[in-house]
Structure 1
């Protein structure tokens, strides 16, 4: 028994020593109080209270003492208000004193004297008849722990969280109805700290969001900064310690910039209802269509890839025009057939007045597009490319398809950000040796596996054995990069990887082996007939993409309407036609012009595509927004970063 008591005392001693060392306070729960109300009072998150007081999740009893973190909290100033409700008669007994009566009735000695004035001149004696005041005690907050804040232009959640010294999660818990995206002028609740303690985001630095289970050791591995360096850059970190969602200032690094969602719904922001003039240039190549019979016409359409793509894209444009009309947008739209010929484009430009056109969408092919862009530069008419990512960025060019390099860096940064990875493997064929070696430079500890080659010819045979892969997998979480364009190779490797996933089994002493498949170059080979979607789903196949497939379960209005009109679901070209047209026109009618919209409207998103343009220092504009997606339960879903 003595041993148990000793251990218990030590446990309590170290527990309260720890509380004092980390600068915590306490709060005694009153009847009717909730965790949410207490958290709001100290402007901390309910999760912070639960972390220190796990029993509070089950039941919150009056008089329970809670441990409250105050390292960043400004305790509210409270005034005690006493409202006299009446009196209770009391006849003094032997040995009773003013002190004992005050304690018994929970009033002060001065309160008793105030309503029994003879006690100012005489001492209390046995038999004295007293009026003991009965008060209703209330607390009046003189200074609120939180205040209202108006969201400034371009401010997202992490910037505001950093400014007021809290995590993004804490900001969201203070504002449960704030929404996923903050709007300019939106009013939210923030901690009521002094103005001189508010922190400003310095663009000369990068900002890093702390992830679950991430300590100083893993932070040093990822950022190269020791604990002391992080504490020097982030005053208050030494006292509070690391917390999930905390925003840390670090030296500038492009690889750890926080992705911030500043998506804006432009349909609510239309200010210009004057008629806008748009031109669309597509390679219909109608001159090559055989109209002699219905069958000949059908055959021409089926066999002409340019015409197919143009018709699909154009069907999306028409849907967008119809949607814009319902929003009150007046639009004049000209459609031109470029025939996929530079000569035809020159003729179109010479024969028509483009000086008053607000924007040109297309052409699709690089030579025709660059000819249009170069000729319309003198009028500063913006020209938007729907499909190319390798264009010459004249100062009037808007490249809506993100650069391929952006896709690659997004995927690599995602893997780098996963602090729970135990092993990285790179599988490739000989055509992708350079990519494999570049990945090896990014992940020094990664193991490389190459497809087997024919011993006589030395050519790739596009396969590896189960043993080749099994030998370099480790217990725990394995990330496998797979770089190839061979569908058969993909089919074989994904089948092997799926078979090597293991669940932990303590009876057989089997350790868990998790495998996540990724690629920096998503291509049609991964959609080949021989590639099992079940295997890709089991491997949680991740990749970066310029668009994300819409879900038919979302009941999207565009998809439903398209189905009604064309009796089929829209493909990616039709969706791109709709998304791009909606974005271009809505940017024009919500800003002075398309150029100014880049600063006013950081990010927009529609059915499958999002647009966040950046400007080249000496050139045009490029879309820098991509998706990270994965296979999950035989569907493709977005991965929130």
Structure 2
């Protein structure tokens, strides 16, 4: 019997060899995903030939790896080597662009060879160095060869990854210089599978990347699709199961950011396990080059008159206090502070002069171009870059946008009103510029009454007021919600005053707006009226509760003699959240799935991975005026 089994194994092995398969002996630390990545196949391909690997996967196990998809045609790769410099004296009307074309090098190559050009313009008479390169063309033959693929219209990297049966991370590994947003005609390296094995891309579907620790239950909450529905759309799930990084086909109508349920606040302090020192970079525009640090009086005067510097220093104090709080929990931090000068050129110098590849997170910069350069430069090393006080123009895969989008704030306010079963009526008051917003609200509340500001009969211009008679008989007994949408201070103050006068005889009027602005904070707006109308609005943050014991607030008051500003609180909340998340998992990505919502002094965080980019905070507050205080609404 034993000999018979041996013969069968020999025959099977010969058969596999004839079909061009590979044997792999599992090493300690390897996973199915890492082995699949090594051979440029998918985990599902391995499970198909090794079904026992689902339950019996351990070192020294022999796996059969499919290799029949590979054509093993070498691809040409270009590389270049710096061999010296040519001296050049700048002539009248010469530009960096012209020199780059003349010498066949990039403008950035010239700047790197002449660092003063990052901060100064090219001038006649400048003596500069022009780098000279030698180009090498070599044929690279990988163990499993890749081939070139030209991106088609409407194809993003998720669709390309799905098409070739790999994860987005694997596609990025094959293409280190891949743009965050693919354009038709871009050339990518992809697994060299046969055309007939490419998955079809269908216009009526979207493609979603499975996140760490995301199971069928979380996907049901996020997409509304059951396990059976997902398996019908993605048959490979039935054999290989759900894996991190898989790209799933989902209906185009599914919005993964709209179906989030309420999440209970997570106390990360109770699940700390990673106590390695956290390496954090803080990149802020201190602009110390503009301050005479030898003159205390001049430095103080600069801080008082420079609003940006005041914000940055407040945020910095909050960061330092968060480090102290984390240290008390056993979390050590190696913090490096970098002054970006609020200049993209200075930020580029910092990137060239420092190695950020082993940082756990980079907080900042604030300036848009600077932030974009840092995020783009560090995305290959998957270093998380935190947009702390700004909304980035491009949310790359390694970006954490901490300020929620306006549409999320609006949705939170609308959902809050919808959830109140005691409301009897909804009224929408808007100026002429907010007609589109008013009509959107009308769709959400079909029975709502709409009132617009008056227009000048001759010119048609908005006069920013509403006749009192139009509000008469508009409010029945019970609770009526009034949406007031305007940026006009005169209109806001007059409407608020009129509404306050109508709160009589068991009539309750609750004033709300989708976006707080200066119109509600003008000198003519009486805060007593706002309190009487229980004014509600959505907000990124809330004011800390003066009546509750708060160690952070006490420590700040003891040190500085005043209450902390919202920027101090944000620096504290954001940094402590990052450190606690890093202490609960191996990296920030694994600690930022959408089932984790944290809350601190004035801010809360729940990140959702967007379909075409990085992570966006979706945790918002609804706050209200209550006895002249602004508190969280329940």
Query: Is residue 2:548 matched to residue 1:554?
Result: yes
Distance between the aligned counterparts of 1:596 and 1:435, measured in 2?
Answer: 37
Which residue in the other structure is 1:308 paired with? 310
Q: Is the 8 A contact 1:614 1:622 kept in 2?
A: yes
The verdict on how the C-alpha distance between 1:200 and 1:315 changes in structure 2, with shifts beyond 3 A counting, is closer
Alignment match, 1:535? 529
Inter-CA distance 572–333: structure 2 relative to 1 (3 Å threshold): same
SS of residue paired to 2:379? helix
Instruction: Give the match for residue 211 of structure 1.
Output: none
CA distance in 1, matches of 2:502, 2:280: 55
Aligned to 1:465: 467
Gapped regions of structure 1 (runs ≥ 5) = 1-183, 185-198, 208-250, 504-511
| Structure 2 SS opposite 1:482 | strand
Residue 418 of structure 1 and its aligned partner are, at CA, apart by 2.4
Mark the CA change 1:514 to 1:601 in structure 2 (over 3 Å): closer, same or farther: closer
Separation of aligned partners in 2, 1:346 and 1:566: 35
- 1:112-261, aligned counterparts within 5 Å? 203=221, 259-261=261-263
CA deviation after TM superposition for structure 1 residue 300, in Å: 2.0
* Contact residue 255 and residue 413 of structure 1 kept, 8 A: no
What is the 5 A alignment of 1:446-457?
446-457=448-459
Q: CA deviation at 1:457?
A: 4.1
Report the alpha carbon displacement of residue 390 of structure 1 after superposing the two structures with TM. Answer: 4.9
Structure 2 equivalent of residue 603 of structure 1: 597
Distance 2:499 2:394 in 1: 41
In the TM superposition, residue 487 of structure 1 has moved relative to its aligned partner by 2.5
SS at match of 2:622: strand
Residue 514 (structure 2) aligned to one of 510, 520, 526: 520
Q: Is 1:587–2:587 an aligned residue pair?
A: no
Equivalents in 2 of 1:336, 1:347: separation in Å?
11
Kindly tell me: are residues 557 and 534 of structure 1, through their superposed partners in 2, closer, same or farther at Cα, counting changes over 3 Å?
A: same
Equivalent position SS for 1:339:
coil
Instruction: Name the structure 2 match of 1:8.
Output: none
Aligned equivalents of 2:470, 2:482: Cα separation in 1: 13
The corresponding residue for 2:608 is: 614
The structure 2 residue matched to 1:398, chosen from 375, 400, 403, is 400
1:632 to 585, 606, 626: 626
Tell me by how many angstroms 1:608 deviates: 0.7
Whether the 8 Å contact between 2:257 and 2:610 is mirrored in structure 1 is no
TM-score (norm 2): 0.58
User: Cα distance, 1:492 vs. partner?
Assistant: 1.6
Q: Deviation of residue 253 (structure 1)?
A: 9.5
Q: Confirm or deny that 1:485 pairs with 2:479.
A: no
455-464 vs 493-502, greater mean Cα deviation: 455-464
Task: Give the stretch that moved more between structures: 493-502 or 523-532.
Answer: 523-532
Q: Report the CA distance between 1:616 and its aligned residue.
A: 1.2
Q: Residue in 1 aligned with 2:359?
A: 357
Is the Cα contact below 8 Å between 2:222 and 2:259 reproduced in 1?
A: no
Per the alignment, do residues 479 and 600 of structure 1 end up closer, same or farther by CA in structure 2, a change over 3 Å counting?
A: closer
Q: Give the CA deviation at 1:471.
A: 4.2
Residue in structure 2 matched with residue 329 of structure 1 by the alignment: 331
In structure 2, the residue matched to 1:214 is none
* Residue among 376, 381, 384 paired with 2:383: 381
Structure-to-structure mapping, 1:367-378, within 5 angstroms: 367-378=369-380
Displacement of 1:618 after TM fit?
A: 2.9
Per-residue deviation at 1:373? Answer: 0.3
Paired residue for 1:436?
Answer: 438
Moved more, 583-592 or 256-265: 256-265
SS in 1 for 2:504: coil
Aligned CA distance change for structure 1 residues 403 and 499 (closer, same or farther; 3 Å): same
Query: Under a length normalisation based on structure 1, what TM-score does the superposition of the two structures give?
Result: 0.58
Match of 1:344 in 2: 346
SS in 2 for 1:516: strand
Q: CA offset at residue 352 of structure 1?
A: 1.0
1:389 touches 1:404 (CA, 8 Å); kept in 2?
A: no
- Residue 407 (structure 1) aligns with: 409
Aligned to 2:569: 575
- State the aligned residue count: 392
Deviation at 1:599, TM superposition (A): 3.0
Note the C-alpha offset of 1:445: 2.0
- Give the C-alpha shift of residue 254 in structure 1: 8.5
- Please say if residues 222 and 257 of structure 2, whose CA atoms lie closer than 8 Å, have aligned partners that are also in contact: no
**How far apart, CA to CA, are the structure 2 residues paired with 1:627 and 1:337?**
32
Note the C-alpha offset of 1:538.
0.9
- For 1:380 and 1:446, the matched residues in 2 are separated by 48
Three-state SS of the structure 2 residue aligned to 1:559 is helix
Change (3 A) 1:420 1:252: farther
Say which SS state the counterpart of residue 599 (structure 1) adopts: coil
2:380 alignment partner, SS class: helix
Q: Which moved more, 1:383-392 or 1:369-378?
A: 383-392
What is residue 113 of structure 2 aligned with on the other side?
none
| Residue aligning to 1:277 | 279
Q: 2:439 & 2:219 partners in 1: Cα distance? A: 37
Task: Give the equivalent residue in structure 1 for 2:3.
Answer: none
Measured after TM superposition, the shift of residue 293 of structure 1 is 4.6
Shift of 1:452: 2.7
Return the offset for 1:345: 0.6
C-alpha distance 204-260 of structure 1, shift in aligned 2 (>3 A): closer
Q: CA 1:449–1:617 in structure 2 vs 1: closer, same or farther (change >3 Å)?
A: same
Residues in 1 aligned to 2:571 and 2:218: alpha-carbon distance in whole angstroms: 40
**For 1:475 and 1:424, how far apart are their aligned partners in 2?**
13
Q: 1:288 to 1:633 in 2, by over 3 A?
A: same
Higher CA-based Rg: 1
Alignment root-mean-square deviation, CA? 2.7
Give the Cα separation in 2 of the matches to 1:204 and 1:325: 36
Secondary structure class of the residue paired with 1:279: strand
Does the 8 Å CA contact 2:344/2:367 hold for their aligned counterparts?
no
- Kept in 2: contact 1:391–1:399 (CA 8 A): no
Cα pair 1:206 1:256 within 8 Å, conserved: no
The whole-number CA distance in structure 2 between the counterparts of 1:597 and 1:253 is 23
Distance change in 2, residues 1:452/1:254 (3 Å): farther
Give, in whole Å, the separation in 2 of the partners of 1:256 and 1:599.
15
Report the Cα distance in structure 1 between the residues aligned to 2:510 and 2:442, rounded to whole angstroms: 17
Name the SS for the 1:477 alignment partner: strand
After superposition, give the CA deviation of every residue in 1:423-452 in whole Å (9 maximum; x if it has no partner): 211111222222112212222222222223
Uncovered stretches (5+) of structure 2, i.e. residues with no partner? 1-212, 226-252
The residue that corresponds to 1:422 in the other structure is: 424
The 1-side partners of 2:219 and 2:591 are apart by: 23
Q: Distance in 2 between matches of 1:255 and 1:496?
A: 38
